[in-house]
Homo-oligomer: A and B are copies of this chain.
Amino acid sequence: MVQRERATIHEVAARAGVSEATVSRALRGLQHVAPETVEQVRRAAAELGYTPSRSAAALATGRARTVSVIVPGVASWFYAAVLEGVDDALRAAGYTVGLVSLSAPDGGRRPLTAAELHAGQAEAHVVIAFELDDDEQALLRATPAPIVTVGGAVEGVRGIGIPEEEAAGMVVEHLAALGHRRIGHIGADREDGLNPGIAAARRDAWRAAVARLGLEARPEWFASGAFRIEASRDAALRVLTGPERPTAIFAASDVSAFGVLLAAQALGLRVPQDLSVAGIDDHPYSAAHGLTTVRQSPREQGARAAAMLLRELGVRGPVPPATPIELVVRASTGPPA
């Protein structure tokens, strides 16, 4: 099929022998169009390779059929997966994603501003909220368009995420059930005004779960790895070279856990004989590393966020139920030697 200039609704109407209005109605599946007319219009459109102009439709209706996805950057497994999930759900509804990546070329991050939020002319927004500072969170609350956050709850804004206490509890209980009495944690500190949600929740849950089991959560058994692999490795090196080192480490994310595994390797500690390690996420590399973890599906979370927004925008279709989180036991955890 040779590419010519894009056909217009006018041409389709001429070819089908009907008016433009009828073509519009027929192609959008509106009621009160004779079945045979619909058929004619469809055929004419197909023959001309007609694709309706989004801009024209947007202008006429005032709805751009776009939902923006605000991400701190897209080069992170979690963010990318959420983005894919949103994309899936939107595509199915004839919507498109307006990507707003806040990552700057220098590795930094642009602030989220009203201009940034509105530039894409989106009807609604999915916001990954892990790294938002207070101003940015306030902006979300002040925005009239529907918003759903994923990861890192923002007060006053609907959010999708996993039950943090439960996830952390699953890991700690699993380790305790294996016989561990000294369970450390590599997570993250509150950083300069950024949303501390997830990091704090998992750290608190570690303390709570450990206490519940009658064990200790010694301060020196915690260190911040900022959810990054190198920093987590270094944090684990500190924790594991202390006087009475933990026999197990609960890492706040799988990437943190990879860092812990590297630290163990550097120290000559066998996993799981000398050190058990478990994370949260089920990162794509976790199975290969034999990492015990709590599985969550960011892709599904993205799809659910999009579905919620679409429903609010008047698009039919149910919001799929959330798959419960699940402990995935692999080779990185076992009884202490």
Q: Which residues of A contact B (CB under 8 A)?
A: 1-3, 6, 49, 51, 53-56, 58-59, 64, 73-77, 80-81, 83-85, 87-88, 96-99, 101, 103-105, 114-115, 118-121, 142-144, 229-230, 233, 258-259, 262, 265, 284-285, 287-289, 299, 303
CA distance A76 to B59 in the complex (A): 36
Is B53 touching A121 in the complex (CB atoms < 8 A)?
A: yes
Closest to A234 in B: B288
14 more A-B contacts (CB under 8 A) besides A2-B142, A55-B64, A74-B74?
A: A54-B121, A55-B56, A59-B59, A74-B80, A75-B77, A75-B80, A75-B81, A80-B80, A84-B103, A87-B99, A87-B101, A99-B99, A229-B284, A265-B265
Chain B residues whose CB sits within 8 angstroms of the CB of A285 once the complex forms:
229, 258
Chain B residues whose CB sits within 8 angstroms of the CB of A121 once the complex forms:
51, 53-55
Closest to A229 in B: B288
Set B1, B98, B262, B287: member contacting A288, Cβ < 8 A? B262
- Pairs across A and B, CB under 8 Å, 19 listed: A2-B142, A3-B143, A3-B144, A51-B115, A51-B121, A55-B64, A74-B74, A75-B84, A75-B284, A80-B80, A84-B103, A88-B105, A96-B98, A96-B120, A229-B284, A229-B285, A233-B288, A259-B288, A265-B265
Closest to A2 in B: B142
Interchain nearest-CB distance for A265 vs B (Å): 8
CA distance A259 to B84 in the complex (A): 25
CA distance A73 to B74 in the complex (A): 12
Closest to A119 in B: B51
